[in-house]
Structure formats: C-alpha cells, structure tokens
C-alpha cells in the first residue's frame, strides 16, 4: 500500500520522460500527481501549493516544452527545485564562531527528540570540533527529564550541570552560564522542556531563557514524522525566538519526511542535521538531495 | 446567514481543509465525493456545510469509539502499551493508572523500557505520584524478564490492571519489533489471555506515517486499540479518520496535556467537529 504511491509517481515521470512533444496540459496533469505525492509525504498543503505553482510555471516555459526531451526536463525541474527549496547542496554546520561560552538552545514540541539531540550534538562538538562542552537541562516539567540528560552525559562522558531541585528554568540558565565561564567551557548546550506553540506561559519562558543566555544557535528540533501541523509549529517558534536552524529527528524511520520542506520554507532557516537513531552517534548532516528523492518517493 | 450553492470550488475548499487536518489526500477525496453525491448544487450556509462535513466524519468514527474496560477474569487484566519514540506512552500510562485508580481498580505498572535514559525513573516518578506499585529492573536489563516478574507479582497480589510500559520503537526496525513480539509472548506465559489489551499510542502531530505505524504494530504485536496524544495543540488528528476506515481498530481515549488528568474519553462527535472546524 505504501509503495503504490512511488510506483504511481514513478509511472508519471516515466510517461513524461518517454514522450516527445509535450502540451501544457500534460505538464499540469503530471503536476497534479506530484501534488498528491507531496501531500501523502506530509508536505504542508500551502507549501505544496506554492511549490507546484513555482514548478509549473518553470516547466510550461516554451523552451522546456519545445526542447528535445521535454519530459526529462520537467522531471529534472521538479527534483532540482525541491532540492533548492530544501537548502541546495550545501548544508551549513553549527556556528561556533563567537566568544565562549557559545550557547546553543534546543527547543521544540514535546517528545520531538531535544534531549537526545542535545547529547548527540555535545558529542559531535567534542569529537569533530575538539571543543569542551557542557550540557544543562532546563526541563522542570517532565518527570526525570534532568536525570535523563545526566545519564546521557555519563554515557557520552560530557559534563552536565549538577541538578538543583526546585530551581526554575531561567535561573538554571543563569547558573549554567556562570558555571560554563568558570570552567572555561567552549560550548554550552541548553536542553529545554517540550512545549506546545499555543502554550503562552511556556513560550514566554523560552523567550526569557533566550534573553538571559544570548544564544548563538537556537535549534528547533522537529520529528520527521510530523504532518500538516509543521506549518503552525514553524510559524509560532519563529515568531518567538531567533531560530538559527532546524534538526530533523527520526529520519531512520520510514516517513517520507515532507515536514522538512515545510520547516525549511516557513522558518527560512537551514535544516542543519538529521537524527538517524537513538544511539548517541546517530546524527548526520542533512542531505537535501536524498530527502528530495524520499519526499517524491523515488 | 448567507448561503451559496455547493459547487466544485467549495468542495475543493472542504477537501483542502480536510487535508490540512491530516486526513491525507485519499480520505479527504472520499469525503468530498460523499458530500458531492448528497448535496451538490444545493443551497447551503457555511455552518451547514461544516456540520455536514462533521457528520460524514462522525459516521466513520462512531463505530470505533470504545472506552477501555477492566473485565478480565481471572485478574489481572494486562495492558501492553506500545508505539514509536516520544509518542507519549509513559505519560499515557500514568494517566490511565490514575483513571483506573479513581474507579477503584488496583493498578500496577511494569517498567518495560529499560533502554532509554531515565525511562525507568520517569515511570517510577509517575507511579509515586499516582500512588501505585511499580515493578522495575536494572537499566539496560531484559524487558521480557521484567514483564514476566510483573505478571507474577500482579497475579499474586490480586491486582486488577497491570499496565506495561515499553521502549519507543520505529516500526521499520526489525530487531526492535521482534523484541516486542517476544515481550508479548512472555506476557502470555503465566496467563494465556495476556496481554488483554495492546494499546498503540499515536502522536497527533504525526502525519500519514501513523497509518504505517498501525499497519506494522498491528501485524507484529496484535494491536487491540488506539490512544491519540497531544490533541491539545493545533494538530487535529485527522489521520484517525483514515485509520478508522482502513483498520477499524477501537479508539479508546485522547491525550490533551501533560498532566495526570489530561486523558479524555474518545468522543467521535467532538473530534469530528474539531476536524471539520465547527468546534
Ligand atoms: N529512532 C530515533 N529515535 C530518536 C531520535 N531522536 C530521539 N529519539 C527518541 O525519541 C524519544 C524522545 O526523545 P527525547 O530526546 O526524550 O525527546 P524530547 O524532545 O527531549 O522530549 P521532551 O523533553 O519530553 O519534550 C526517545 O525515545 C529517543 O530515544 C532519532 O533520531 N531516531
Ligand atoms: N501536550 C501534550 N504533551 C504530551 C501528551 N502526552 C505526552 N506528552 C508529552 O510528550 C513527551 C513524551 O512523552 P512520553 O510519555 O515520555 O513519551 P514516550 O512515548 O513514553 O517516549 P519514549 O519512551 O521515549 O518513546 C513528554 O514531554 C510528555 O509530557 C499530551 O497529550 N499533550
Ligand atoms: K512526536
Ligand atoms: Mg527532553
Ligand atoms: Mg516512555
């Protein structure tokens, strides 16, 4: 059942490729199939619509339709445009270029993978960048959230800020800054509680955390299984804090990952990393071209 | 109130709204078609249209609305809770335990997630807050042996409901799915009827992949019912409509927050109204 779609889309593309002269209507028909494919892949509807409009306009251009292999050109335009919208060929890494301690804040909905990703990034910062990291959990909501980060710290051998029972998030952030300075830490990673974008109190708290810690990176951690809600999430978080990038988790799943496109498009920020497992080395640079294929089911 | 003829453009809008509620393009197209057949060309107000959409959805959802019931004889009734990572299993277990306890059932929890960092601590904190016993083993231990101990303890102490937590797993992970099948088997060793309920916890913010989750978990673990969490945000959970059409699995409850009493019975008419934008 889940393969039918890529078969169908593959069929549409094959049909286009195999043809000589194309009429504008042929292109429009094919684009309707591409639209369905994108919706099945959970690309948010407004984003899919914009994409299809942009691509259709390019593809019905006279030099495409009159070229020797119009079908192949249309397919190429769809793919290239998608790669471009996902960030092009270059994936920017972490920006650690600031006066230490460089602060990275992780934000996102409940259960998206923030705490796990915090530990993965800290490990990467030590191993790839050769820098000293400190992690602090500002999550006073979820039971055992701070213990979870402490355990991950032990597993990765990365220091975590000692837990002080009852201390509130903004105060923990201040203490973490202080501690990072005293210990000559290069990079301080602040893990925050999961929050819904409609939760005004928690969104205000996130802003306050950002205000006291002057972050260089604010990373929105998003589940690649996310559906149409991606647009709401991206809009609300972007409106509250200066996001600098997105991390897409659970890319080891079999979701087609259309949320990537929605996120990139709505936040205007690059998708910097893909989480590819529960283990703490399961993180990689985001690959727009691979994800484009995946969204199109190719 | 202004009315307009129900035409193709309006039907397009309806279909788009349904897609944005995560019904997916095919289920959305089916509902559009049904509306077309019944009412095309009729004068209709916006409110009437939304109500008509809600009614179409409610018709699909009503047959699957089934609360969880503790009926097992002999006791305990064993409830196995499963799902992908971060969907809300552990929190939902705490909410369920609280609900059952309010109904005077004796409840016990089993910490079957020995893998994720501090997962045991998370469940143990909830157990303490709710005031129910928990059976736990060492971090990194064998979940199958913990659930075996738990069934034994629950049986020996006359517990009514034993709720088993499991580690999150993506349905395309073969090894982890095999482990789940094993946990299921071990639960049945002391009591062939167990697990009586296999509850798949779905995250409302997930899109169409939820259908793949149902498909595979059903196959591997014999899912008997669904709970959808995180409906307190802006995600509308329309994938439940497609799920009801395709699988007909009971939907027991919905999660609407992180607190202990944030579990609600699944009300098909209300959810239909939310999806249709009437409520
Ligand atoms: N398969 C897979 N699982 C992941 C990935 N990232 C995180 N997880 C799992 O997702 C679940 C939730 O991860 P957490 O890091 O606790 O998520 P969180 O955003 O901190 O959750 P809250 O603090 O409750 O909001 C855990 O079971 C993690 O092991 C990933 O890339 N792939
Ligand atoms: N807003 C909201 N948050 C929820 C709901 N249910 C659970 N959560 C939150 O979602 C996050 C993940 O919940 P958990 O119960 O830890 O999820 P899990 O499925 O046990 O996660 P793993 O064991 O890591 O796979 C936590 O931050 C919960 O507080 C809900 O109905 N609404
Ligand atoms: K999720
Ligand atoms: Mg966390
Ligand atoms: Mg859990």
Who contacts B161 (Cβ-Cβ below 8 Å, separation ≥6)?
A: B70, B76, B77, B78, B79, B100, B105, B106, B107, B108
- Residue A145 class from Cβ within 10 Å (0-12 exposed, 13-18 middle, 19+ buried)? buried
Query: From ligand 1's centre to the CA of A112, what distance in Å?
Result: 6
Cβ contact (<8 Å) for A148 and B118? yes
pLDDT given at position A2: 39
Q: What is the ipTM of this complex?
A: 0.97
Residue B140: how many other CB atoms lie within 10 Å: 7
Nearest to B209 among A142, A148, A225 (CB): A225
Contact B20 A44 (CB under 8 A): yes
Long-range contacts made by residues A26-34, C-beta under 8 angstroms, separation at least 24?
A: A27/A56, A27/A59, A27/A60, A27/A65, A27/A74, A28/A56, A28/A60, A30/A74, A31/A55, A31/A56, A31/A59, A33/A8, A33/A9, A34/A9, A34/A78, A34/A296
Quick one: average pLDDT of A234-247? Answer: 96
In sequence order, what are the residues at sequence separation of 6 or more whose Cβ sits closer than 8 angstroms to the Cβ of residue B116?
A148, A278, B167, B168
Sign of CA dihedral A39, A45, A47, A51: positive
Angle between helices B46-61 and B25-39 (to 10 degrees): 120
Are A269 and A107 in contact by the 8 Å Cβ rule? The answer is no
Q: Is B194 helix (H, G, I), strand (E, B) or coil?
A: coil
- With bands split at pLDDT 50, 70 and 90, how would you rate the model's confidence at A7? low
Count helices and strands in chain A by DSSP H and E runs: 12, 8
pLDDT in tens, chain B (279 residues): 678 899 999 999 999 999 999 999 999 999 999 999 998 999 999 999 999 999 999 999 999 999 999 999 999 999 999 999 999 999 999 999 999 999 999 999 999 999 999 999 999 999 999 999 999 999 999 999 999 999 999 999 999 999 999 999 999 999 999 999 999 999 999 999 999 999 999 999 999 999 999 999 999 999 999 999 999 999 999 999 999 999 999 999 999 999 999 999 999 999 999 999 887
Mean pLDDT of chain A: 92
B226: phi then psi, degrees, rounded to nearest 5: -120, 150
- Encoded tokens for A148: 């979870």
**Percent of chain A at pLDDT exceeding 90:** 80
CA distance A161 to B259: 27
Contact residues for A68 (Cβ-Cβ < 8 A; gap 6+): none
**pLDDT value of position A3:** 46
B88 lines ligand 2 (CB under 6 A): yes
CA distances from A97 to A100, A129, A184, A215 (A): 9, 11, 16, 12
- By residue count, chain B amounts to 279
Q: Is A45 helix (H, G, I), strand (E, B) or coil?
A: helix
Length of chain A: 298
What is the reported pLDDT for B1? 64
Predicted TM-score (pTM) of this structure: 0.97
Residue A275 Cα, ligand 3 centroid: separation in angstroms? 13
Q: Which atom of ligand 2 is nearest to the CA of B262?
A: 31
For residue A161, give the DSSP letter.
P
Are B213 and B247 contacting, i.e. CB atoms less than 8 angstroms apart?
A: no
Mutate to test the pocket of ligand 1, among A111, A135, A144, A273 (most ligand atoms within 8 A of CB): A111
Is the model more confident about B265 or about A17? B265
In the prediction, which pLDDT does A6 show? 54
Token pair, residue B208, equals: 């169409």
Sign of CA dihedral B241, B246, B248, B253: negative
Tens digits of residue pLDDT in A119-176: 999 999 999 999 999 999 999 999 999 999 999 999 999 999 999 999 999 999 999 9
The b/e string for B207-220 (b: 16+ C-beta within 10 A; e otherwise) is bbbbbbbbbbbbeb
Lowest model confidence (mean pLDDT) among A50-59, A70-79, B245-254: A70-79
Task: Determine, for residues A197 and B234 on separate chains, whether the beta-carbon distance falls below 8 Å.
Answer: yes
Q: Across residues A267-294, what is the average pLDDT?
A: 96
């Amino acid at each position: 059942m889940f393969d039918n779609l890529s078969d169908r889309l593959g069929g549409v593309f094959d049909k286009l490729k195999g043809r000589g002269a194309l009429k504008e209507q042929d292109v429009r028909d094919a684009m309707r199939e591409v639209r369905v494919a994108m919706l099945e892949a959970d690309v948010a509807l407004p984003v899919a619509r914009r994409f299809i409009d942009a691509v259709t306009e390019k593809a019905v251009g006279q030099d495409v339709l009159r070229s020797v292999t119009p079908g192949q050109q249309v397919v190429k335009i769809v793919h290239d445009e998608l790669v471009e919208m996902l960030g092009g060929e270059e994936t920017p890494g972490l920006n650690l270029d600031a006066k230490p301690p460089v602060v990275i804040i992780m934000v996102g909905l409940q259960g998206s993978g923030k705490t796990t990703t915090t530990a993965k990034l800290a490990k990467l910062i030590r191993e790839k960048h050769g820098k000293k990291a400190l992690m602090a959990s500002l999550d006073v909501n979820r039971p055992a959230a701070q213990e979870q980060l402490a355990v991950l710290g032990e597993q990765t051998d990365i220091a975590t800020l000692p837990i002080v029972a009852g201390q509130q998030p903004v105060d923990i952030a201040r203490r973490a800054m202080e501690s990072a300075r005293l210990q000559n830490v290069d990079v301080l990673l602040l893990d925050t509680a999961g929050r819904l974008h409609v939760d005004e109190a928690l969104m205000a708290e996130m802003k306050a955390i950002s205000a006291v810690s002057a972050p260089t990176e604010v990373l929105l951690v998003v589940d690649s299984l996310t559906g149409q809600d991606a647009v709401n999430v991206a809009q609300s978080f972007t409106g509250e804090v200066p996001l600098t990038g997105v991390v897409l988790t659970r890319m080891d799943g079999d979701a087609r990952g259309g949320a990537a496109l929605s996120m990139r498009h709505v936040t205007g920020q690059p998708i910097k990393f893909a989480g590819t497992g529960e283990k703490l080395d399961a993180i990689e640079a985001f690959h727009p071209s691979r994800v484009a294929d995946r969204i199109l089911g190719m | 109130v202004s009315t307009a003829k129900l035409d193709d453009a309006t039907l397009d809008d309806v279909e788009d709204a349904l897609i944005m509620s995560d019904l997916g393009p095919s289920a959305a197209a089916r509902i559009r078609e049904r509306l077309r057949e019944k009412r095309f060309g009729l004068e209709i107000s916006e409110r009437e249209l939304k109500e008509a959409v809600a009614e179409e959805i409610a018709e699909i959802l009503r047959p699957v609305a089934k609360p969880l019931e503790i009926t097992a004889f002999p006791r305990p009734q064993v409830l196995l809770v499963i799902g992908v990572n971060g969907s809300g299993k552990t929190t939902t277990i705490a909410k369920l335990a609280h609900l059952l306890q309010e109904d005077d059932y004796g409840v016990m929890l089993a910490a079957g997630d020995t893998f994720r960092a501090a997962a045991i601590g998370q469940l143990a904190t909830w157990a303490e807050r709710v005031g129910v016993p928990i059976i736990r083993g060492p971090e990194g231990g064998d979940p199958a042996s913990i659930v075996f101990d738990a069934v034994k303890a629950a049986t020996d102490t006359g517990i009514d409901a034993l709720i088993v937590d499991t580690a999150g797993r993506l349905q395309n992970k073969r090894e982890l799915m095999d482990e789940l099948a094993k946990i299921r088997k071990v639960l049945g060793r002391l009591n062939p009827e167990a697990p009586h309920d296999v509850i798949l916890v779905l995250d409302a913010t997930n899109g169409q992949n939820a259908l793949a989750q149902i498909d595979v978990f059903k196959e591997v673990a014999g899912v008997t019912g669904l709970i959808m969490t995180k409906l307190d945000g802006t995600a509308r959970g329309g994938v439940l409509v497609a799920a009801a059409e395709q699988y007909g699995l009971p939907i027991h409850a919905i999660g609407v927050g992180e607190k202990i009493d944030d579990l609600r019975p699944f009300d098909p008419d209300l959810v239909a109204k939310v999806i249709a934008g009437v409520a």
